[in-house]
Structure 1
Amino acid sequence: MDNYVEHALTKTKIVATVGPACDSYEGLQRLVTAGVDLFRLNFAHAQHDVLSRVVADVRRIAEELDRPVAFLADLSGPKIRLGELPEDGLEVGKDQRYTFVRQRTADSPPEHLDSTYPGLVDDLDVDDRVLLADGTVVMRVVETDADSATCIVEQPGLLRSRQGINLPNVKLSLPSLTDKDLEDLAWALENEIGFIGLSFVRDPEDIRDLRRRIDASGATHRPSIVAKIEKPEAVERLDDILAETDVVMVARGDLGVEVDIARVPAIQKRIIRKCNELRIPVITATQMLDSMQHSELPTRAEASDVANAVLDGSDAVMLSGETAIGKHPNRTVAMMSRIIHETEPLVVSRKELPLGFDRQKNTATEMTRSVTLGAIHAAERLGARLLAVTTRSGTTAAAVSELRSPIPVLALTDDPRTAQRLCVCWGVRPVVTDACTGSPHEIHDFIVRWGKAHGSVEAGDLIVIVATTDWSRPGKNVMLVEEVPNGTTT
């Protein structure tokens, strides 16, 4: 059996991509037990019927384990792919010429290529670079006309059918949401998925458009939007995008193709720092433990990559092919959890309480800020085992998350949607319970029962509680320090 660190002990959240390697009930259960907080549903490679079963299974597992687990519906976005090529691929040599056309026909010459985006030939200009097969093949446009764009190969390699095409700094006419994305979005809203991933974000209007469509759908569930930063345009307009989105993903796969790969580490650190400053949860993704798709152990560089993402300030780190199609999905999650566990003691606590989860709408009151800061200070000085926060919208719990305190945070809420949102916040363990609306004494009793049942506290431990005397009013006005008693509470 794989060894893993108990999930409650790690504060950086783990995102795992669902795929054939882990999508059975038993496989999903093993991943949740090993530490997965959020499952990524990749619409580029999965059908709705399969995803419906996965969602039902995970929700049942989460209920059985008494552990909130969220979902990220990752919309495919306007990904451009090559058309059909010979079964054994097409080897392109340096300085050879190939021409992109709107659509190949049966009698098209072998040097003609097409794509899933017929308008590609309209958007390409002379000297534009065309990157194929994850950037391993590079062409440059040397000539265009009304129906074609001729390129010369600058970096040779093998091309295969349906491989991705990246166009750094090319302004595409494609909308941010395709017809397929809209169908997938409707499914996600119907199934009350907590997070919607928007791929290939170029400017803040892309996020506003998605939000308008969610609002116009009539769905009572309002998911959080995850802006995937993977285009140079998004990096250039980062501040504007951060003003609109709920969550950010540093999507290093396409980002590393679209921009000079040497810039990616610095861009990653800049994005994470900006998100931390603005209290926007941030996920670092792509190839974190990539070699574990085939190997039982990661490389030293991969282990350092995960650790550095934690030290940079990531709220969550994500696995893609490692869990979706890899040979060792459970072992990979266990390894990521171990690396996080070893790294988190080095995370430096911050001293100023940010405004909250949604800095535009749900800002923390000054009373809440004062009470919460006092509670964190007391918990750290006294060596408390738990800091419990009652929260309706998630504002207070998310703000506490940003302080990166070494004290584990228990967020008590009566709203399952709030619990889902907090699944991506560093250091916060959400629990859905009506006890949060009761008196401080009732809240204390619930925390003691829950903590003992989950092995989080034992007799003699101190717990610090942030609560309110009036659940119907915003803000927190109670800080309580209690010792866990022997026996059971009533």
Structure 2
Amino acid sequence: MLTKIVATLGPASLAPDTMREMVRHGVRIFRLNFSHADAAYFAPIIKTIRSLESEMGVPLTAMADLCGPKTRIGEVAASPRTVDKGEALLLGLPDERPDPARDDRVFVSLDVPELLAGLRVGMPVNLSDGLLQFHVTREIKADRLYEIEAQNAGLLSSNKGIAFPGKHHPMPALTPKDIKDLHEGLDVGVDAVAISFVQNAADVVQTKDEIKRHGVWAPVVSKLERQNAVDNLDEILAVTDAVMVARGDLGLECPIPQLPIMQKKIIRACRHAQRPVIVATQMLLSMVKNPIPTRAESTDVANAILDGADCVMLSEETAVGDYAVEAVKVMQQISENALEYYLERIQAPYAPKREKNPRKFVAYSACLIADNMESKAILCHTVSGTNARLTSSRRPRQPIYALTPDPRVMRFLNFSWGVKPRLLEFGRDGEADYMERVESFVDDCPDFAPGEAVVITAGRPTPGNDTPGTNEIKIYCK
């Protein structure tokens, strides 16, 4: 598969046989949701992932998804209760709760002062995952207590999520729990870290600093769940390793009618920046309880692939659904059909923008040559993964074999469209030349028949430059 599948693990999918079937049908990345468990819980699961990786001969990636500062309201009296359109409620810090004998309005408590700071009359407030929408109508105590008016009727329950669309929150993306989970997750072997509720580049840099402090390298996936993150996309792309379009919370922050175009723009920006992008949330949600998806869900998955997403993700469908493996199979089938049309539509590899970027143009040239000669594959020798990601961003129809000596880079490249990452060990006679190593891989690889041609890209140091990056293209016939 060219588009990768991310599957969330949970009670419905933790059996090794279930995980094996999901890998067989295209899953390459397993999401570990740290909102519901800790590193100790995931440690044996990561061992199962490593065992399946060895057994099945394909790299598998364990991605820790940190909880982030997702905020929930406190207990609501007489919960659940119906809220009428136009009804006035109170929203405030717990110690601002009024005496019910003097004020019988429903009180919604929020024990996060930072979220109420700067809230002003006219600003929107969403409750119950966006099903209840309010506007602030009165500032009773600045930054502490407000009156909010319901814009629609609905059911209000305790401990539900709350969102303030468009409002900047002076809170870092990493909570103390996240920092603890990050370090413990790295200890048990997670390969990538997804951070929730990113707002700007500083959130990504903080996470990278924590990983560096741990003494390892792991890629950071920035989850776009707030309008601020979309507004700051360019600065986030400059520092992040990958992006997730997390449409659940993003759909609470942004007007839902704008979400489809927002998704397309984010995917396009990620491809131009050579950053893998995952599209997530409610992709096949009906398959939690049904063996087949709705027509709309099938179209949604296909459209994400036609937009150029590197990965599509399953959440509840594989974590708690009754048809975990079936959901993966359906996603694989939709992907295969969509990709056939996608390649037909683009016809040729994407040309780079007019810019001074020789490495991108080398990758583009390799794709053009492979397309012209109908090569079996493109092989990229890559230490950091950059060469393979540049090639992937051109969207060639040939599979990209990314050969790297670094296991962490190998598993990171599972996020990139069309890339088959492989660990490259020194071959016959311990040859040191990059190109010779790749040729030895081709000679030994059963994927290529004698006489078949491939295109190879690599970097060869020169007297004036010890680290030139990709500077060589070669046509090699086995």
TM-score of the two chains, using structure 1 as the length reference: 0.86
CA distance in 1, matches of 2:233, 2:467: 35
The count of residues paired between Structure 1 and Structure 2 equals 461
Match of 2:151, SS? Answer: strand
Which residue pairs with 2:176 in the alignment?
179
Three-state SS of the structure 1 residue aligned to 2:170 is coil
Determine helix, strand or coil for the equivalent of 1:80: coil
Hey, what's the Cα distance between the residues in 2 that align with 1:305 and 1:35? 18
Give 2:285's aligned residue.
290
1:102–1:120 CA contact under 8 A, matched in 2? no
Residue 231 of structure 2 aligns with an amino acid whose one-letter code is E
**Structure 1 partner of 2:349:** 350
1:464 correspondence with 2:455: yes
The DSSP-based 3-state class of the residue aligned with 2:312 is: strand
Compute the displacement of 1:334 (Å): 1.1
Partner of 1:212: 209
Tell me which of 67, 89, 94 is aligned to 2:85: 94
Q: Match for 1:191 among 188, 193, 212?
A: 188
Counterpart in the other structure of 1:376 = 367
CA contact (8 A) 1:354 1:399 kept: no
> CA deviation digits over 1:92-139, x for unaligned, max 9?
222223222322789866822223425544443222222111110112
Q: Are the aligned partners of 1:353 and 1:402 in contact in 2 as well (CA < 8 Å)?
A: no
Q: 1:166 aligns with which of 160, 163, 174?
A: 163
Query: 1:483 Cα deviation (Å)?
Result: 4.1
Q: Distance in 1 between matches of 2:350 and 2:230?
A: 28
How big is the shift at 1:371? 5.8
Cα shift at 1:460: 4.6
- The partner residue of 1:279 within 269, 274, 290 is 274
CA distance in 2, matches of 1:341, 1:298: 16
Structure 1 window deviating more from structure 2 (472-481 vs 72-81): it is: 472-481
Three-state SS of the structure 1 residue aligned to 2:244 is: strand
1:430 is paired with a residue whose SS is: strand
Measured against aligned partners, the alpha-carbon deviations of 1:422-464 in whole angstroms (never above 9, x if no partner) come to: 11010000011214773545533433433x2xxx334553333
**Contact 2:460–2:468 under 8 Å retained in 1:** no
How far, CA to CA, are the matches of 2:332 and 2:41 in structure 1?
A: 27
User: What is the DSSP-based 3-state SS (H/G/I as helix, E as strand, rest coil) of the residue aligned with 1:46?
Assistant: coil
* C-alpha separation in 2, matches of 1:372 and 1:122: 48
Distance in 2 separating the partners of 1:75 and 1:87: 32
Contact residue 442 and residue 448 of structure 2 kept, 8 A: no
Identity %: 34
Whether the 8 Å CA contact 2:367–2:394 is kept in 1: the answer is no
CA separation of 1:404/1:121 partners in 2, compared to 1, >3 Å: closer, same or farther?
A: closer
Residue 369 of structure 1: CA displacement? Answer: 5.8
- Name 1:488's counterpart in structure 2: none
What's 1:409 paired with?
400
Q: Give the structure 2 partner of residue 111 of structure 1.
A: 106
Q: Deviations over 1:49-107 (max 9, x none)?
A: 22112111111111111111112221211111122346862222222232223227898
Q: Map 1:240-319 onto structure 2 (within 5 A).
A: 240-319=235-314
Give yes or no for contact 1:103–1:118 (8 Å, CA) kept in 2.
no
> In structure 2, what is the Cα distance between the partners aligned to 1:137 and 1:330?
34
Query: 3-state DSSP class of the match of 1:337?
Result: helix
Relative distance call for 1:435 and 1:481 in structure 2 (3 A) is farther
Q: 1:98 to 1:372 in 2, by over 3 A?
A: closer
Query: Aligned partners of 2:115 and 2:276: how far apart in 1?
Result: 35
CA RMSD of aligned residues (A): 2.8
What residue number does 2:42 align with? 51
Separation in structure 2 between the aligned mates of residue 406 and residue 121 of structure 1, nearest angstrom: 50
User: CA 1:24–1:50 in structure 2 vs 1: closer, same or farther (change >3 Å)?
Assistant: farther
Q: 1:470 to 1:80 in 2, by over 3 A?
A: same
Letter in 2 for 1:319: L
Q: Which residue of 1 aligns with 2:469?
A: 475
Shift of residue 18, structure 1, vs aligned partner:
1.5
Q: 1:232 to 1:397 in 2, by over 3 A?
A: same
**Aligned equivalents of 2:320, 2:98: Cα separation in 1:** 34
Give the distance between the partners of 1:375 and 1:210, measured in 2 at CA.
35
CA distance in 2, matches of 1:193, 1:87: 42
Q: 1:164 is aligned with what amino acid?
A: G
| 8 A contact 2:363–2:390 mirrored in 1 | no
- Does the CA contact (< 8 Å) of 2:79 and 2:158 recur in 1? no
Equivalent pair of 1:29/1:58 in contact (CA under 8 Å):
no
SS in 1 for 2:94: coil
Match of 1:4 in 2: none
- The gaps in structure 1 that reach 5 residues or longer are 1-9, 485-490
Q: Which runs of 5+ in 2 are unaligned?
A: none
CA distance in 1, matches of 2:467, 2:164: 51
Which piece of structure 1 moves more, 403-412 or 132-141?
132-141
Distance 1:39 1:252 in 2: 19
CA distance in 2, matches of 1:106, 1:190: 47
1:376–1:52 distance in 2 versus 1, CA, 3 Å = same
Matched, 1:124 2:119: yes
The CA distance in 2 between the partners of 1:413 and 1:120, in whole Å, is: 44
Q: Secondary structure at the match of 1:244?
A: coil
The 1:448/1:158 distance shift into structure 2, 3 A limit, reads: farther
Tell me the distance in 1 between the aligned counterparts of 2:197 and 2:339.
31
Question: What do the CA deviations read for 1:170-203 (whole angstroms, capped 9, x no partner)?
Answer: 3333332211111112123323433222211222
